A and B are shown apart, each in its own frame.
Chain A
Amino acid sequence: MERDTHFILGVYEDEDVLLHAVKEVRTSGVKIHEVYSPYPVHGLEHVLGYKRSRLPIAAFLFGMLGTTLALTMQFYMMRFDWPMIIGGKDFAAFPDFIPVTFELTVLLAAFGMVGVFMISSNLKPWAQPRIFDVRSTDDKHIMAIDIANNGALEIEKIKEILKSSGATEINNKSFEE
């Protein structure tokens, strides 16, 4: 499937200018696709209006999975599959199971979180990343605006808004995927 996407890019030099620009651009009705910056900008996700990550929920669920898995596994092994007397304890000696349960809970929560994060951020090894502007890995902040998402607004109007918000450069970028 071939699909063309066209973006307008605003290039910003300074993070304070960027933070104000994001607010300005959003209040003037332009939908921002994404902002790329060389380092984490404190408060950027807040002005972009991103919802809080749901990753903790995934972590909790994977942790619960780990707990359940560990307890069932040990209980099955020690009570039914191959019962052994260890230290004169019951076959199903619950306190003995806790360390393994703890470890598996942590392991699955951590792995699950990493996995969910990779999937949700499209970090698969064969993914073709969209490079908007290589300078976003060096010293420039890049604000990308998807033209298709801003159908009602004139392209010239968007560029004007970007310019007045403090962008030092305004570029076009298209991807053919």
Chain B
Amino acid sequence: MAHDVQHYNLDQKFDFRAGTKKAIMTVLGIGAALLVLGIILAMTGGGHHEEGAEAAGHAFHWYERLYANLWINNVYFTGISIVGVFFFAIQYAAQAGWSAPITRVMLSLGNWLPIAFVLMIVTFFVANHDLFHWTHSYLFDKSSPEYDSIIDGKGAFFYWPMEKGSFPIFYIARMIIFFGFWVFFFKKFQKISAQEDQLGGNSHWFKMRSWSAYFLVFFAVSSSISAWDWVMSIDTHWFSTLFGWYVFASWFVAGLSAMTLLTIFLRGQGYLEMVNENHIHDLGKFVFGFSIFWTYLWFSQFLLIYYANIPEETVYFIERLESDIYGGFIFVNILMNFVLPFLVLMTRDAKRHGIFLKVVCTLLIVGHWVDFFLMVQPGTLGHNGGLGLMEVGMLLVYGSSMALVVLSSLAKGNLVPKNHPMLEESYHHHI
């Protein structure tokens, strides 16, 4: 069999051109401007909301909306980032050959993780009372009129081994452990991958496979618990047993869309020549399939709650569906994340041609942001929330910052793992 290795330039490095950088910086600038504008509007306006809120005994401050926005994007972009590492590990654990030239693209998303960690922990300490109801210590004080026996029952999940209502050490420890291990595995993968470039041979691949397996076991547990911690605990009374999977599915589709977009972008710039429509087709299938998986989980959660009709469960959907602000977004969510990708990506041609995938993946990235918007805002802001300039601006700021971080990390090393033992198989990938 002919070896096609010599046909391709395997030492290609991504050149982060000034033009691309400028375009991303422009988006960042627009996002920042919208954000500032949104903050100014929130500081000066919104009076009619405040009257109602004050009557209810809680004055609404504009910065609460800023915190909620920070939290949406912290969780969302952490997810996209860790899914890059997760999908990379899947390739090795499954001994996949087709994806060999794009493994670095997957892994590059992980570069956002350390920044995401700092942002998340800082946001938590600044905004804890405004985001998480359970951080109020009076909820755990039996003599207080605000004492809440349900939250008291769950308190150990946040405060163990300290006294409930003091410092949430268990919660913070989990955050640090999850991010710590995620970053550790990410760096480990990067290191092994770089060594493979230098030394070659199959031993690095075997090493990577073992580390991938360890990571996947850790990720299986940590992805679920992080979803409870960071998202589900906002609605402290409420719980859903498949919430971890639901958040993971949302992350996974968004991460796959980001990888697909990045691959198509790099190909358009003349890199990754060995990646042809067969590889793109496979990525498209993943996006298509996992969009349906997300819908399956979303609907499973909804149908059981709707059908059982137990008040402490239905409150989650009542808050959203009955609201003037969020009601419409439920349908936007389903439309963008299920109907559109399902119908557009159904045919083979749509998955093989970049243009359809570009449109659908961009929509999916926005769509799953809407999903997280719907998870976070009703529980934190209630009727003071909504999709405004601040939301759009913050999404653009986070998105373009992550793009900057990821692309500049790609510019540092070789784009293709040139000594990957399965490169040859990937060249002959044909479906």
A residues at B contact (CB < 8 Å): 52, 56, 60, 87-88, 95-96, 98-99
- Contact between A95 and B302, CB atoms less than 8 A apart: yes
Residue from A60, A96, A99 in contact with B346 in the complex, judged by beta carbons closer than 8 Å: A60
* Per-residue interface assignment for chain B, residues 272 to 314, with 1 indicating a CB less than 8 Å from any chain A CB and 0 otherwise: 0000000000000000000000000001001100110100000
Closest CB in chain A relative to B154 CB, distance in Å: 28
Residues from chain A with Cβ under 8 Å of B309 in the complex: 87-88
Closest CB in chain A relative to B423 CB, distance in Å: 20
CA distance in complex: A88, B306 (Å)? 11
User: Which 3 residue pairs spanning A and B have beta carbons closest together?
Assistant: A95-B306, A95-B303, A87-B309
Interface size counted on chain B using CB atoms at 8 A: 9
Closest CB in chain B relative to A162 CB, distance in Å: 27
CA distance in complex: A87, B308 (Å)? 8
- Contact between A98 and B307, CB atoms less than 8 A apart: no
- Contact between B303 and A99, CB atoms less than 8 A apart: yes
Q: Can you list 16 residue pairs at the A/B interface with Cβ under 8 Å?
A: A52-B348, A56-B347, A56-B348, A60-B346, A87-B307, A87-B309, A88-B309, A95-B302, A95-B303, A95-B306, A95-B307, A96-B303, A96-B307, A98-B299, A98-B303, A99-B303
Residues from chain A with Cβ under 8 Å of B306 in the complex: 95
Residues from chain B with Cβ under 8 Å of A98 in the complex: 299, 303
- Closest-by-CB residue of A relative to B346 is A60
Residues from chain A with Cβ under 8 Å of B348 in the complex: 52, 56
Closest CB in chain A relative to B205 CB, distance in Å: 26
- Closest-by-CB residue of A relative to B309 is A87
CA distance in complex: A48, B299 (Å)? 45
CA distance in complex: A88, B303 (Å)? 15
CA distance in complex: A96, B348 (Å)? 32
Closest CB in chain A relative to B189 CB, distance in Å: 33
Most buried by A among B307, B346, B347, B348: B307
- Closest-by-CB residue of B relative to A86 is B307
Residues from chain B with Cβ under 8 Å of A60 in the complex: 346
Closest CB in chain B relative to A174 CB, distance in Å: 38
CA distance in complex: A17, B306 (Å)? 62
Closest CB in chain A relative to B60 CB, distance in Å: 33
CA distance in complex: A56, B349 (Å)? 12
Residues from chain A with Cβ under 8 Å of B346 in the complex: 60
Residues from chain B with Cβ under 8 Å of A99 in the complex: 303
* Per-residue interface assignment for chain B, residues 342 to 355, with 1 indicating a CB less than 8 Å from any chain A CB and 0 otherwise: 00001110000000
Closest CB in chain B relative to A41 CB, distance in Å: 14
* Further contacts, 7 of them, CB under 8 A, given A56-B347, A98-B303, A99-B303: A52-B348, A60-B346, A87-B309, A95-B303, A96-B303, A96-B307, A98-B299
CA distance in complex: A95, B348 (Å)? 30
* Per-residue interface assignment for chain B, residues 154 to 187, with 1 indicating a CB less than 8 Å from any chain A CB and 0 otherwise: 0000000000000000000000000000000000
